[in-house]
């Protein structure tokens, strides 16, 4: 491959890229080594920085850590589970419209959780709708 321009080197000339893999790459528009090198992600989400709940601003995507204060299921127009967590600087409400018993059990009172999602201003302060959590 030495001396050849990367935009002329087909992907199937690389070790480990056979006909099947080359076909899959072609479906997403990758035909040459240059195409592969310039295939960049659409965005990058930094989930390593923990934000204090009290400093959340509406519209930002943030990771927060807190202790579950309570978790309730309400039945107003549609079924909804709301869980409140606190890290000492504020309280965040997490809202879930699609949930099951396992989710409810995993968000037991007193448990510490990490949650990632878009912060919004809700009726009672900061909230996230369907955040990813663990």
Q: For residue 45, tell me if it sits in a domain.
A: no
Asked if residue 48 belongs to a domain, the reply is no
Which parts of the chain sit beneath pLDDT 50? none
Please indicate, yes or no, whether residues 69 and 127 belong to a single structural domain of this protein: yes
Provide the domain limits for residue 13: 1-40
Q: Which residues contact 4 (CB under 8 A, 6 or more apart)?
A: none
DSSP letter at 35? H
pLDDT of residue 2: 57
Based on the structure, what is the number of domains in the chain? 2
pLDDT in tens, 18-35: 999 999 999 999 999 999
Asked if 34 and 61 sit in the same domain, the reply is: no
């Amino acid at each position: 491959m030495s001396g050849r321009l990367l935009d002329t080197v087909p992907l199937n000339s690389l070790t480990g890229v056979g006909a099947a893999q080359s076909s899959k790459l072609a479906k997403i528009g990758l035909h040459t080594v240059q195409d592969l090198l310039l295939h960049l992600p659409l965005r990058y989400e930094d989930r390593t920085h923990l934000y204090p709940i009290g400093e959340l601003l509406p519209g930002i995507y943030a990771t927060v850590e807190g202790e579950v204060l309570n978790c309730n299921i309400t039945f107003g127009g549609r079924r909804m589970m709301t869980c409140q967590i606190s890290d000492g600087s504020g309280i965040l409400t997490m809202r879930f419209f699609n949930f099951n018993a396992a989710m409810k059990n995993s968000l037991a009172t007193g448990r510490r959780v990490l949650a990632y999602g878009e912060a919004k201003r809700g009726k009672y302060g900061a909230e996230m709708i369907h955040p990813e959590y663990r």
